[in-house]
Amino acid sequence: MYFGLSEDQVFFQDNVKKYLEDNASLDIIRKIIEDHESIYKKDIHKGIVNLGINNLLIPEENGGLGLNLLFATAISQSLGEALAPIPFFGAYVMAPIAISHGGSKDQINKIFNEMSNGKVNFGISFSEYFGSRGDSKIVFSNGKVNGTTLFALDCDHASHLLVSNSNGVIGSVSLDSQGIDCVDLITVDKTRVFKEINFNNVTVEVLEKTLSSSTAIEKSLDAGRIVTAADSLGAAQAMIDKAVSYSKERKQFNRAIGSFQAVKHMCAEMVAELEPCYSLVWHAAHSFDKDENDARLMACHAKSHVSDVAKKVSKKATEVHGGMGFTDLLGLHFWFKRIGLNRQLLGAPEIIRSEAAKIQGL
């Protein structure tokens, strides 16, 4: 039996990849890193939105495409491979899933209609639920939210933020509200923006179903972890491709270094370790879409395993490049750092494996 992406999924994936190849070269990525407010970043985001990724998971009756997570996973691979400096995990995957599972019927229709028309764009901050800290407590009370949330995703193009407390209750906050203080977080990955947000008596609309159930935040986190794994998968594949290409061009002792057995083995090991990750990530997305019994477990496996494999690949690919691999000239460190941050996003492998153990009653 063949298990892989459909023609439509590959078509979507290739369109995104081709657009980024044409409009987000490494030189442009460098300019965006120097200035996150640059016109290049805005143009790339606008072009990607024109391809429809903002409406992927929004139902057709609300003006969306009504597609599933496997489509989003396929696209995320292309985004990671191209170092796309745009929002995706939170804004276009986690947000619609949280709303569809956590909102009342009226909330779902209202928010989805606004999202599909481009009037509302969401950032996401659910760190309080799976990795809270002593000074980051989020409290909902009397239609207001107070506290501090860390590592908010996809806020650079957002008008609103979905924020959760430690119990999985999710609220929607307008980022134009009084009492909000946003601070940019400095991370190793300069291709994306993360924020720390402080709330002081800020008006919030709580998603109705999340008051009595944690399903919405769990489904949203599962989806986010799967597409994050796919992003790392794409980034790792890009590093392998660059390592193989470099090994064919770089010469020592009048021979291409790719002809040396040690380098051959390193490249072969990277491919052998990464190849099974494709089916793992695709199967996790398929399980999520079909709401299978092991869907949560597969999401945990995909994120934790791909995080570890991509880390190994990024290290070996850099080593194949020798001293050049650590310089800014090649830009290899951009993928290296993206993989490193993805490893920590939405839960490090240790946290996620602990969750997987609990899911299995261990």
Residue 304: give its domain's CATH number: 1.20.140.10
Query: Global pTM?
Result: 0.94
50 and 130 fall within a common domain: no
For residues 181 and 334, the answer to whether their CB atoms sit within 8 Å is no
Domain boundary among 115, 147, 182: 115
125 and 25 fall within a common domain: no
255 and 355 fall within a common domain: yes
In which residue are the tokens 């400096």 written? 85
**Is residue 74 assigned to a domain?**
yes
For residues 111 and 145, the answer to whether their CB atoms sit within 8 Å is no
248 and 165 fall within a common domain: no
CATH of the domain at 32: 1.10.540.10
Task: Kindly compute the dihedral angle of the four CA atoms of residues 102, 180, 160, 209, in this order, to the nearest 10 degrees.
Answer: 10
Q: How many domains does the chain have?
A: 3
Domain of 249, in residue numbers: 215-359
In which residue are the tokens 């839960």 written? 347
233 and 320 fall within a common domain: yes
**Is residue 15 assigned to a domain?**
yes
pLDDT, tens digit only, all 362 positions of the chain: 456 788 999 999 999 999 999 999 999 999 998 887 788 899 999 999 999 999 999 999 999 999 999 999 999 999 999 999 999 999 999 999 999 999 999 999 999 999 998 899 999 999 888 877 666 689 999 999 999 998 899 998 899 999 999 899 999 999 999 999 999 888 899 999 899 999 999 999 999 999 999 999 999 999 999 999 999 999 999 999 999 999 988 888 888 887 888 889 999 999 999 999 999 999 999 999 998 899 999 999 999 999 999 999 999 999 998 877 788 888 899 999 999 999 999 999 999 999 999 999 88
